[in-house]
Amino acid sequence: MTLKTKIKALVTAGKTMIGVSGEAFRTLENSFIVDGDVQRTWRLLSDIKKLSELLPVDKCEINLIDDRNANIVVGLKFGIMSLKAGGTIRLLESQELKRMVAEAVLTTGTLKKEVESEGEKPEVSIVVAVEIEPVSEKKTLVKYRMEFNVEAERLKKIYESILDYKFATLHETFVEKFNEALKEV
């Protein structure tokens, strides 16, 4: 199944986000209100270099290819384990001041050999859909949905552990950093 077939257009029905592919092994949705108007919030969300600095990971390197594509290397530690992955990010859809959909395809560097030796792809696809809407003149609601697609059983277990263990903390840290960064936009 091709990426275009898998990823449906992001549709908004009232306040509920619907879509991306519906085939993910794990889907996370959340929202938060930021202290910035829609224009400033959109500028920050659209600046992939600045946004990468806000990600609550131990390492994130972004190399822009063009205005819709970038290479990425990410490192995350949790407990005594660390995970390192590299790959690409591609902007799939963008409706200025409203929503964007991007996909990151990462090949895990940490467990690549083990996963390949089991005959599975060491690949993780993360589709992220973001919508913004004004709450007031100086506040914006940011809603997001993340779909994780992983074929390798070993990687599924690891990503589930990370998401179960760290998601709330990662979300809170990102929101704090995002609000701080908005002051400079």
The rounded percent of the chain whose pLDDT value lies above 90 is: 46
Report the pLDDT averaged over residues 67-91: 87
**Residues 6 or more apart from 151 whose CB is under 8 A from it?**
120, 121, 123
CATH 3.40.50.300 fits domain 25-56+92-105+119-182: no
Report field, pTM of the whole predicted structure over 0.75:
yes
Each domain of the chain, given as residue ranges in start order, spans 25-56+92-105+119-182
HEC sequence for 60-75: EEEEECCCCEEEEEEE
